[in-house]
A and B are shown apart, each in its own frame.
Chain A
Amino acid sequence: MKNPLYYKSKKILVNTLIHIFLISVAITCLYPLLWMVSSSLKTQDMIFKDISLIPHQFRLENYVLAWKEGGFGRNFFNSIIYTVSVVFGIVIISSMAAYAFSRLRFVGSKFLFVMFMAAMMIPIPGSFVALYVLLNKLHLRNTPIGYILCMINVGLSTSIFLLKTFFDKMPKELEDAARIDGCSKVGIWWHVALPLAKPVLAVVIVFNALAVWNEYILALIIFDDRSFMPLQVALQSFQGEFVTNYPLLMAGLTITALPIILVYLLMQKYIIKGVTAGAVVG
């Protein structure tokens, strides 16, 4: 039996080490964000000369310039439309498909599910040319609807996987009770399955919203018309082959990051619960 001082010292030491580790991780995560905000308030030459995080002079006009020169107004609206449409489409289609894969028995269901999962393995850039040619043939290239359909397609596999894993673990008795109360299959999906799947749906919403909000290569390939481009494409206008306009780029990035940070904060309480329920348990 060791004396209490030993256990107390051991606990303090372990806690200190854990906190040092966690603080280091937090600093490495936060530092780039702080640098981004700090640089967005400096001039181009000050970014290279003055390495301190607090600028000597705050150039708030960088935000106004970034908004005007990047043409953020229209692109910001486009990004919101694309993100809302794609996330809504993915939530509806993937939850229906996942429920069907989990509860309905039909010929080829396993094969279809495997096919969906296989789609997760295909790197998106590898399919760009094929998508371009397909949209061209369907006369959907250079149209927002073509882009939205592509992005819904991109997000379906992972979302179906997360939701199916959750529905597989959902007690069947709840559905039986709903059926006795006169619910149809669609009614059970809407009134029973979806409300219970809120934590997983939160994960699906946040992950897909992030993916759509940050996407720009597919948009750049599909759209010829700049008025259809999302916000991320506007950011590229500050980044040249050899020269980058860092103050405006960082101001633009700060503006771009705000909405998605807001979505994350609103959904935060569901995230950990959802990832555990949907991905890890399965």
Chain B
Amino acid sequence: MWCKKALAAVLVLFSVLGCAAQKTDSKPTISVWHWMTDRDPAFQELAKKYEALTGVKVNFELYAPSDAYSQKIRAAAQGTNLPDVFGILGEKRDFASFIKAGHILDLTSYMEANDSAWKNSFFPKALAVNEFAPQNSYGINPGIYAVPIDIMTIQMVYNKKLFAQLGLNPNHPPKTLQEFLDTGAKIKAAGMQGLVSGWGEVWMIDCLANNFAFNIMGKDKVLATIKGEVPYTDPDWIRVLTIFKEMKESGVLAQGLVTMINKSAEQLFANDKAVYAFNGSWCVNVYKGMNPSLEYSAMLPPAASDKYPIAIWGGAGSSFMVNARSKNKEEAVKFLVWLTGQDQQAYLAAATNNLPANRNSLSKIPEVLAQFARGMDYATHPNVWGVSEFSLVIEAWDRGIQSIIIGEKTPEQVAEEVQKIKERELAKKRAQ
């Protein structure tokens, strides 16, 4: 008897819950899916402003963490349930596969309307990540397929308080590699930690090595190496590897750097325990949370040569796409135009400490953010090079730098090992 009653109760509960799902709302709304937890309150605030301004309701739906969000987007794409506006996390080939499947609207005509007013409001390098060039290797029609919401650059930061303690000028960070290496002796003598970074997550080593490579041999030679036309045993590449050896020997690198994760590096720098950090512009928000009174500034990585300009990695941080199948796509584009406007971008930057994608919003943001944003003039990113290195070569290169830092291998040995892997991968590719 009890069992029957319980079963009946569950059936009633199921029916009630089932009915509860049927919601009707005649008011037209734009639905936006995102994963950016730290930006959600600011997005909600902007949605309210937009509704007050236009009468169009915008629903920002947060689905975090980012890996679960990615699964949701893929599942929704399979079921053609994507919202009006969404973002894709992943590599450019993932982006291309969504375009090929007809999920993403080509925004080129909207960007180029009114003498390209919308297009020109962005940092060109922020748009480049969302753009497919003519004859791209993905087979996508050339055009712009996403709107950058913010940008990021990866640079160096230095602790002004520790700089003063070392007898260095806090307003003049080292500009050349030699000046940078010279600070190593002072850091060592004071018993401080030098440069911290997430070099245990090896991609950040790759990032700094690339900065030096662009500076020493220029973009064309770097790309020629990726294409297989220049070997890694070239003296310029050995010079890049040697810089890491010199940094280790000078004492400018923190102990345990090769196995350090970025969260630990951020904690050390935020607590005045490291003089330098190599980090992305997101660190402004991280440091603010860890130590609001931290005194620091951003600086470009020191130049190892005056032959070519220094280059740093940067571009679009987060981007939004419009669902090509959405019945609200015109409204969605209008909303994105408004969201990336000067005032909205300045508000987002101030509220979230992310760099604005709109280049006209820079005057309204804190100085340290503006320093990171100015780095966009030097920005490049592997996603816009048009060629990509074999992942095995990148891995061997990054691991090789780690072994140089711990004194296990010489730059020449690492260069030879990397070149062997490169030749093997090239041979495999030719055989296909």
The answer to whether A and B assemble together is yes
State whether the Cβ of A85 lies closer than 8 Å to any Cβ in chain B. Answer: yes
Q: Are B78 and A132 in contact (CB under 8 A)?
A: yes
Q: Are B66 and A48 in contact (CB under 8 A)?
A: no
State whether the Cβ of B230 lies closer than 8 Å to any Cβ in chain A. Answer: no
Interface string of A98-121 (1 = CB under 8 A from B): 000000000000000000000000
Q: Are A129 and B10 in contact (CB under 8 A)?
A: no
- Which of B38, B283, B286 has the most chain A CB within a 10 Å cutoff? B38
State whether the Cβ of B392 lies closer than 8 Å to any Cβ in chain A. Answer: no
Q: What CA separation (Å) do A225 and B81 show in the bound complex?
A: 13
Which residue of B3, B21, B78, B289 contacts A142 across the interface (Cβ within 8 Å)? B21
Q: Are B291 and A45 in contact (CB under 8 A)?
A: yes
Q: Nearest-CB distance from A143 to chain B (Å)?
A: 4
Q: Nearest-CB distance from B284 to chain A (Å)?
A: 10
State whether the Cβ of B328 lies closer than 8 Å to any Cβ in chain A. Answer: no
Residue numbers in A under 8 Å from B366 (CB-CB): none
State whether the Cβ of B167 lies closer than 8 Å to any Cβ in chain A. Answer: no
Q: Are B6 and A88 in contact (CB under 8 A)?
A: yes
Q: Are B290 and A88 in contact (CB under 8 A)?
A: no
Q: Are A221 and B72 in contact (CB under 8 A)?
A: yes
Which of B56-64, B115-123, B329-337, B376-384 contacts its partner? B56-64
Within residues 57 to 104 of chain B, which ones have a CB less than 8 A from any CB in chain A? Answer: 61-66, 68-69, 71-72, 74-76, 78-79, 81, 83
State whether the Cβ of B431 lies closer than 8 Å to any Cβ in chain A. Answer: no
Which of B12-20, B155-163, B403-411 contacts its partner? B12-20
Q: Are B267 and A48 in contact (CB under 8 A)?
A: yes
Interface string of A122-162 (1 = CB under 8 A from B): 00010011001100100001111100100000000000000
Residue numbers in A under 8 Å from B292 (CB-CB): 45
Q: Are B61 and A226 in contact (CB under 8 A)?
A: yes
State whether the Cβ of A20 lies closer than 8 Å to any Cβ in chain B. Answer: no
State whether the Cβ of B141 lies closer than 8 Å to any Cβ in chain A. Answer: no
Q: Are B37 and A81 in contact (CB under 8 A)?
A: no
Closest to B20 in A: A144
Q: Are A241 and B36 in contact (CB under 8 A)?
A: yes
Which residue of B6, B40, B68 contacts A220 across the interface (Cβ within 8 Å)? B68
Interface string of A239-266 (1 = CB under 8 A from B): 1111101000000000000000000000
Q: Are B68 and A81 in contact (CB under 8 A)?
A: no
Residue numbers in B under 8 Å from A236 (CB-CB): 37, 64-65, 68
Interface of B is mostly: helix
State whether the Cβ of B397 lies closer than 8 Å to any Cβ in chain A. Answer: no
Closest to A145 in B: B18
From known contacts A48-B291, A143-B17, A143-B18, infer whether A240 and B36 are also in contact, taking CB-CB under 8 Å: yes
Q: Nearest-CB distance from A253 to chain B (Å)?
A: 15
Q: Are B35 and A243 in contact (CB under 8 A)?
A: no
Q: Are B291 and A49 in contact (CB under 8 A)?
A: yes
From known contacts A92-B7, A239-B37, A240-B37, infer whether A132 and B75 are also in contact, taking CB-CB under 8 Å: yes
State whether the Cβ of B285 lies closer than 8 Å to any Cβ in chain A. Answer: yes
State whether the Cβ of B23 lies closer than 8 Å to any Cβ in chain A. Answer: yes
State whether the Cβ of B282 lies closer than 8 Å to any Cβ in chain A. Answer: yes
Residue numbers in A under 8 Å from B285 (CB-CB): 242-243
Within residues 235 to 283 of chain B, which ones have a CB less than 8 A from any CB in chain A? Answer: 267, 270-271, 280, 282-283
Q: Nearest-CB distance from A250 to chain B (Å)?
A: 14
Which residue of B3, B20, B79, B271 contacts A141 across the interface (Cβ within 8 Å)? B79
Q: Are B14 and A148 in contact (CB under 8 A)?
A: yes
Q: Nearest-CB distance from A115 to chain B (Å)?
A: 25
Q: Are B18 and A239 in contact (CB under 8 A)?
A: no
Q: What CA separation (Å) do A141 and B72 show in the bound complex?
A: 12
Q: Are B65 and A81 in contact (CB under 8 A)?
A: no
Q: What CA separation (Å) do A223 and B291 show in the bound complex?
A: 37
Q: What CA separation (Å) do A221 and B76 show in the bound complex?
A: 8
Closest to A82 in B: B17
Which residue of B7, B10, B79 contacts A132 across the interface (Cβ within 8 Å)? B79
Q: What CA separation (Å) do A225 and B289 show in the bound complex?
A: 30
State whether the Cβ of A216 lies closer than 8 Å to any Cβ in chain B. Answer: yes
Residue numbers in A under 8 Å from B40 (CB-CB): 237
- Which of A144, A220, A243 has the most chain B CB within a 10 Å cutoff? A243
Selected A-B contacts with CB under 8 Å, 30 pairs: A44-B289, A44-B290, A45-B289, A45-B291, A81-B13, A81-B17, A92-B7, A129-B74, A132-B78, A133-B75, A136-B81, A142-B21, A144-B20, A148-B14, A217-B68, A217-B71, A221-B71, A221-B75, A236-B37, A237-B40, A237-B64, A239-B64, A240-B38, A240-B64, A241-B35, A241-B282, A242-B280, A242-B285, A243-B282, A245-B289
A128-B75, A129-B78, A243-B289 given; 16 more Cβ-contact pairs under 8 Å: A49-B271, A129-B71, A132-B75, A132-B78, A136-B79, A136-B81, A143-B21, A144-B20, A144-B21, A217-B68, A221-B68, A221-B75, A225-B21, A225-B23, A240-B37, A241-B65
Counting from the closest, the 7 A-B pairs by CB-CB distance are A143-B21, A132-B75, A144-B17, A240-B38, A240-B37, A242-B282, A136-B79
